[in-house]
Structure 1
Amino acid sequence: MKVNIKRVAEEAGVSTATVSRVINGSDRVKEETRKKVLRVIKKLGYKPMPALRKIADLNYTIGVLVPNLVGDHYNEMVMAIEDYASKNGFELIVSIPKMLPESERYVLDQFFKRKIDGVILCELYTGVTYLEPFLKSGVPIVALDYNIEDITCDSVNVNNKQGAFIAMNHLYENGHRKILFIRGPHLSPAALEREKGVLKFLKKHDDVEVFYSEFEGYEPEIGYESVIAHLEKYGKNFTAIFTINDWTATGALSALYEKGLKVPEDISLVGFDDAPYVKYIVPPLTTIKQPRWEMGQTAAQLLIERIQNKGSNIPKNVILQPQLIVRKSVKKIG
């Protein structure tokens, strides 16, 4: 059934004139009636003409919480969310708490006070207890690139565990049996899943030895410092490096060249993410591609469907598959 002003009036139990007055911001409507009509408008997903949607109460707003916008990973997902949201008449508020729990708590509090219609979370370090006000008030939440085990909500993730397994297997197929793994932050669910992929691979291949980096993180300096520290302590006892993401791979690449080692002639290198720039570095980086645009669009679609009360009430867990992108940073040996 088409949603129009008549259907809104019937659902709210008022006249079409009353609905019209609410839309136009008239003060000739009781506050209780106004709130009831606005609830019905949001419930049915009714969109008055653009000129009439200047009323703040009729603006649908999505809150997006991301750890940072450094690099390209979250940038692309946020752009995908904004693209889908704007095409469906939704506005976006993006907050960047920089992986600081106190900042996350403040952002979530502000989201709730501003009566955000829905929230997309990309990792949360403060703990899921701070999501309870949203859950109790019926505000839908979608976890993006973040697996929340303690609450039931829609989620969109890439199969990080399988991606890491694929990366390790590619090195194995090219003869590499001694591999340095540069780890991600232990508080990051995505990093932990990728490390599980490495462990899954090792269970199937007992002829492979993996050395774990002394440092952990997603930044280039982590890749650089990890390689320097390992070479100075143990020498070149590995033939390949698998990094937690492409950004750390650039740091590892710099450290190798500083130590007189070339990629892939001396050391092979595999990253994770398929950042836009890695096809242009020397050598072009072999990596695991994450479908970031598809992840962002899917998260926005799920959230908007929840806000508009469309589809099943059963939470959806969407798992997108990673893809190996072979370039020129891996050499076949042995």
Structure 2
Amino acid sequence: MTEKAAEKKTGRVTIREVADDAGVSVAAVSKVLRDAYGVSDALRSKVRASMARLGYRPLAAARGMRGQTYTLGLVLPDLRNPFFADIMVGVNNALERTQYRPLIGISESSVTNEMAIVESMMDRQMDGIILIGSTEDRNNHEKIAAAKPLVTIGHHDPEAHSFDTVNNNDQQGAMLAVKHLAANGYKSIAMLSLISGTSTILSQRELGYRRAMIEVGLSKNINVVQAPQTLREVQLAARRMLGGSNPPDAIFCWTDFIALEVISVATEMGIKIPEDLGIVGYDNTVYCDFAQNGLSSIDQSGELLGLQAARLLVERIKGRKQAEHFVVTPRLVARRSSRS
């Protein structure tokens, strides 16, 4: 069924009605809808004003039959981590002046869920996909990229050719955290990480932690604790670490979401922060700056990551073939949780 026929059957405003209202041809309206090359700002404004006045909405299914739906699929591991909200702000900012709209799926860090969501997005003819904190390996990424333009955030694969990656330098960020803690007098610095067999960001952060501990002369105190990303498991891991016979005097947490929970557990146990325990998180989310938290954290510019990912994906959709691998330089934002 054509878009015109579908609109007539459902009583929707037609493209011809938009053209008549704007005083332009149907072809001109079509060019604006396709964001075609050579359309003037004046024509685009006139047509969009008529679309808004008449309440015109193009049918996604009909647009998909012509090649584009102007929808982008974003797959997130979960909704609880506030860092993903920063990424979404960046994505929305990048798409603000385009016709593209992001639609979100939640994988819950499950490979099975992630692939099922991606397949559903492809079935719905979304124009491209952004995977955030992906659980996939290169083989699956290449399969996705063969079907749809793909950009990953939080997945290090600088040798990939069929898709783009957007990251911060996770190894450097972890090293900044450890060296900051060591410079403030902490000696027994542990890392609270996540149980994950495929995450390249975790492997890079753990590697950075180990490298920094060696460089500051604390190699004998290297202690990486991995826990599932549920509040109960994080609480149990933190209590075991802090209640043991040789507790750490500082903890570097792989994400702020976890670090804030460690602050809560330590406070309940009567441990003074930062006198008895220094804590550094990762992401520098908005909650770090709350007075009751004062969490030192590694800033990896979440909004910038989202903005660049959306930019690269649109470029891919428009025909760019050569892979790009964008990397942000992290910085440490020191607050009172680490004797700043």
Q: 2:183 matched to 1:179?
A: no
Residue 116 of structure 1 aligns to a residue in which SS?
coil
Contact map agreement 1:218 1:244 (CA 8 A) in 2: no
Contact map agreement 2:160 2:323 (CA 8 A) in 1: no
1:292 alignment counterpart = 302
**Residue correspondence of structure 1 range 30-179 to structure 2 within 5 A:** 49-50=47-48, 51=51, 54-56=58-60, 57=63, 59-137=69-147, 139-148=148-157, 151-152=160-161, 153-179=163-189
Contact map agreement 1:223 1:249 (CA 8 A) in 2: no
Change (3 A) 1:60 1:169: same
Deviation at 1:219, TM superposition (A): 4.7
Contact map agreement 1:65 1:120 (CA 8 A) in 2: yes
Question: Taking structure 1 as the reference length, what is the TM-score of the superposition?
Answer: 0.78
C-alpha distance in 1 between matches for 2:283 and 2:139: 30
C-alpha distance in 1 between matches for 2:77 and 2:312: 21
Q: 2:326 matched to 1:314?
A: no
Change (3 A) 1:131 1:163: closer
* Greater mean deviation of Cα atoms: 71-80 or 89-98: 71-80
Deviation at 1:55, TM superposition (A): 4.1
C-alpha distance in 2 between matches for 1:214 and 1:309: 44
Code of the residue aligned with 1:142 in structure 2: it is V
Change (3 A) 1:283 1:65: closer
Code of the residue aligned with 2:183 in structure 1: it is E
Deviation at 1:81, TM superposition (A): 1.1
Residue 302 of structure 1 aligns to a residue in which SS?
helix
* Greater mean deviation of Cα atoms: 169-178 or 212-221: 212-221
Q: 2:216 matched to 1:201?
A: no
Contact map agreement 2:281 2:297 (CA 8 A) in 1: yes
Residue 271 of structure 1 aligns to a residue in which SS?
strand
Residue 234 of structure 1 aligns to a residue in which SS?
coil
C-alpha distance in 2 between matches for 1:103 and 1:46: 42
The number of aligned residues is 294
C-alpha distance in 2 between matches for 1:184 and 1:89: 37
Change (3 A) 1:135 1:179: closer
Moved over 6 A (4+): none
Deviation at 1:124, TM superposition (A): 2.7
Deviation at 1:230, TM superposition (A): 2.4
* Greater mean deviation of Cα atoms: 122-131 or 109-118: 122-131
Q: 2:333 matched to 1:325?
A: yes
Deviation at 1:43, TM superposition (A): 9.8
Deviations 1:94-138 (CA, angstroms, capped at 9, x unpaired):
11121122222211211222222111111332544444554334x
Code of the residue aligned with 1:194 in structure 2: it is R
Q: Find 2:276's aligned residue among 266, 280, 300.
A: 266
Question: Taking structure 2 as the reference length, what is the TM-score of the superposition?
Answer: 0.77
Gaps of 5+ in 1: 1-22, 26-37
1:216 alignment counterpart = 227
**Residue correspondence of structure 1 range 229-308 to structure 2 within 5 A:** 229-236=240-247, 238-308=248-318
Contact map agreement 2:74 2:130 (CA 8 A) in 1: yes
* Greater mean deviation of Cα atoms: 192-201 or 250-259: 250-259
Deviations 1:247-306 (CA, angstroms, capped at 9, x unpaired):
211222222223221001211111111111121143511111120001101110111112
**Residue correspondence of structure 1 range 24-35 to structure 2 within 5 A:** none
Contact map agreement 1:283 1:329 (CA 8 A) in 2: yes
Change (3 A) 1:105 1:214: same
Residue 244 of structure 2 aligns to a residue in which SS?
helix
Contact map agreement 2:251 2:279 (CA 8 A) in 1: yes
Change (3 A) 1:292 1:148: same
Change (3 A) 1:244 1:121: same
Change (3 A) 1:281 1:219: farther
